[in-house]
Amino acid sequence: MSVQQGLIGYRRFLQGDSAALENTVRFYSEALVRFALHYVQDPSTAEDIMENAFVALVVKRKKFDEEEQLRAYLYKTVRNGCLTHLRGKKHLASLDENADKLL
């Protein structure tokens, strides 16, 4: 798959070809999961975060002129999803630690 395939599939999706988005997902999904794993250390959570990035892409229907813009958007969305996940875990751990004090 060439470097432009992710953007081409996404553009075709925006024009109404719902199956074309699959090319973009296939092109980026493995790398995005590996990227997320550096943050969350859990393959299942990393995959969920990657999937959420594509959901956000579909919902927002952003237009990109270059492949790099699409790539940057996906990586930034995955990173933000990872950080949100980690913040949530931190709050849960804090609640667990303080639960004994409340009883």
Phi, then psi, of 17 in degrees rounded to 5: -90, 90
Q: pLDDT value at position 18?
A: 85
Interior/surface letters 62-72, b for 16+ CB within 10 angstroms, e for the rest:
eebeebeebbe
Q: pLDDT value at position 95?
A: 46
Residue by residue, pLDDT tens for the chain (103 residues) are 555 778 899 999 999 998 889 989 999 999 999 999 999 999 999 999 999 999 999 999 999 999 999 999 999 999 999 999 998 876 555 545 555 555 5
